[in-house]
Amino acid sequence: MSTPERLIESTRELLWERGYVGTSPKAVLERSGAGQGSMYHHFKGKQDLALAAIRRTAEEMRASAEGILGGPGTPYERVEAYLRRERDVLRGCPIGRLTMDPEVIASDDLRAPVDETLDWLRERLAGIVEEGREQGEFPLSLDGEETAATIVATVQGGYVLARASGSPAAFDAAVRGLLALLRPAR
């Protein structure tokens, strides 16, 4: 892997584990094996490197969600597949966790890819819920955008509950609770 690649990948890991405020250039250098000079040659500084890392993580997250949401199945089945997909629950969401970082929220540049990713996910799910309403799988009383927000929030909040308790169980419970509420009557 090239030096800039190694810097980005190490930064991605550290941002996931420790957030922006908790990640120092020194830690990135140690993990990547690069020297001080290399980092400042390829990137303007901590924020520039973090931006490259966040953009890549956002792209990956979107592609992986699309892989499931654009797959086979009825709307309910695709939502279920998304909610039940394997996740490293205790590590949390590499994008969502950034919203709790004061310096990410303070910088429009750093926040933009986070916002765009979660917004895309909500829109994607809203379309699927609408599809389900039209097909009669979901009640017409549901609102696509609102239901989609609830689905994304349940996932993001599920990580919070799991990390608080140190176990994925609470995440799974929240997902099962939501699926029971969404489940079509037979």
- Using CA atoms, how far apart are residues 9 and 104, in angstroms rounded to an integer? 19
Q: What type of residue is 108? A: D
Q: Does 106 bind DNA (CB under 7 A)?
A: no
- Contacts of 40 by beta carbon, 8 Å cutoff, 6+ apart: none
Structure-token match 């696509």, residue found: 144
**Chosen residue from 9, 17, 19, 27 binding DNA by CB under 7 A:** 27
- Using CA atoms, how far apart are residues 99 and 114, in angstroms rounded to an integer? 8
Q: Does 30 bind its own copies (CB under 8 A)?
A: no
Count the Cβ atoms, other than its own, within 10 Å of residue 13: 18
- Using CA atoms, how far apart are residues 25 and 21, in angstroms rounded to an integer? 11
Indicate which of its own copies, DNA, none lies near residue 157 (CB less than 5 to 8 Å, by partner kind): its own copies
Residues 29-48, interacting with DNA (CB under 7 A): 34-38, 40-42, 45-47
What would the x/- binding string for its own copies be over residues 156 to 185, using CB under 8 A? xxxxxx-xxxx---xx-xxxxxx-xxx---
Residues 134-153, interacting with its own copies (CB under 8 A): 141-143, 145-153
Indicate which of its own copies, DNA, none lies near residue 114 (CB less than 5 to 8 Å, by partner kind): its own copies
For binding to DNA (CB under 7 A), which residues are involved?
A: 2-4, 23-27, 34-38, 40-42, 45-47
